[in-house]
Amino acid sequence: MAPVSRTASDDASVAAVQAALGASADGVVRAPGRVNLIGDHTDYAQGFVLPMAIDRSCLVALRRAATRRVRARSLELPGDVDVAADGSDDARTVEPRWGGFVAGAVQAITERGGRVPGLDLVVSSTVPAGSGLSSSSALSVALTMALGGTAGLELGANDVARAALDAEIRATGVPGGLMDQLTSVHGVADHALLIDCRTLAIEPIPLPHELAVLVVHSGVPRTLAGSAYAERRAATERAAARLGIASLRDANLRDVEDDPLARHVVTENARVLAFAAALRARDIEALGPLLLASHASLRDDFAVSTPELDLLVDAFVAAGALGARLTGAGFGGCVVGLAMGRDAPRVLDRTVERYRDTSGREPSAFVVRAVEGAGTMQP
């Protein structure tokens, strides 16, 4: 991977992970989180999604060690990780639990023919955990790139994404789709990515400069391993099997009108394509209604929203946002909203105030911008 540009925030994070190593790092890898503008629970059905890489990232600094162990510590999470460099440790049993991602990445690299050397790693992330902004995928991509680069593997961008997904599944047991990893790897500054999850074709689509992307965390953490995510995925696969098709990507609305879960997938694919077309045409007025329709479908048909997420969407609308929806798999986490840039501070402040007053929870809010994808950074 080519070196990536860096911001003042990146500079501070790089300095922190280097200092934690106690000596000069041999390398630093940065992988961004993502926000999905529209298109949830469509990726594993070979459908369409429209995410963007965001200016919240995971960094992994590394230094070679004279052992056959991979040792890691996090600047934010407790516990030290120590796993075998040959991939023999079971990622599901490693403690602390975040160490499962380290073990999973080692296994993903070694099973692809890489020989991981002894390494000391320091990890730091500004992607909020349990938020639906892909903190786990950012960690998996950064680890996979860092380990693959030292193991003598020549991995293309999609290979990195697949290996990172492999590592994440090993660590969590959750059979996720490939959207998060592809977005972290392929991000383009100031663009969203229209991803065809069947062909993996990616079209960067410019975001109007006058548009602001707002994210508010509901204060309810999202844990896929403890959610009904796997059940929803299995249900969509059963629906495709009943229809005799490879995936719900190939279904039409008539096929699924009596099956709410399948109906969401079909209608969400259509909304993603309509949203992308509106961005290309700079038809900003069309975007908000599509976001609200997406949230309604995720709430009513796919049943992955929560009362808090519904309140947040209502608060966004009342504050003057163009539209809003839950982002990610649901069951907690974040809502993404759109506003005109000049209105963004007011919309965000009013959304947070209204949500706090109605829910009794303390949200966290920020404006995000689209950034380039993962890569190495000069230490």
Question: Which pLDDT tens digit goes with each residue over 220-278?
Answer: 987 655 568 888 999 999 999 999 999 999 999 999 999 999 999 999 999 999 999 99
- What is the predicted pLDDT for the residue at 184? 98
Q: How far is Cα 51 from Cα 315, in angstroms, rounded to an integer?
A: 23
Express each pLDDT in 39-89 by its tens digit. Answer: 999 999 999 999 999 999 999 999 999 999 999 999 999 999 999 999 999
- Domains with residue ranges and CATH for the chain: 8-188 (3.30.230.10), 202-368 (3.30.70.890)
Taking Cα atoms as reference points, which of 35, 374, 43 lies closest to residue 184? 374
Per-residue pLDDT, 292 = 98
CB 4 within 8 A of CB 305: no
Residue 5 has pLDDT above 80, yes or no: no
pLDDT for 224: 59
The CA-based dihedral angle spanning residues 373, 268, 341, 128, taken in that order and rounded to the nearest 10 degrees:
-50
Average pLDDT over residues 335-349: 97
Catalytic residues: 180
The answer to whether 374 and 156 have CB atoms below 8 angstroms apart is: no
Query: Quick check: 328 and 222 in contact, CB under 8 A?
Result: yes
C-alpha closest to that of 10 among 24, 25, 27, 30: 30
Per the confidence metrics, is the pTM higher than 0.75?
yes
Cα–Cα distance for residue pair 49/174, rounded to 1 Å: 19
Residue 241 CB neighbours (<10 A): 11
**pLDDT of res. 221:** 85
Joined together, the tokens standing for residue 100 give: 């499962």
pLDDT above 60 for 1: no
Residue 322 is encoded by which pair of tokens? 């163009």
What pLDDT shows up at residue 19? 78
Cis peptide before 345 (omega within 30 of 0): no
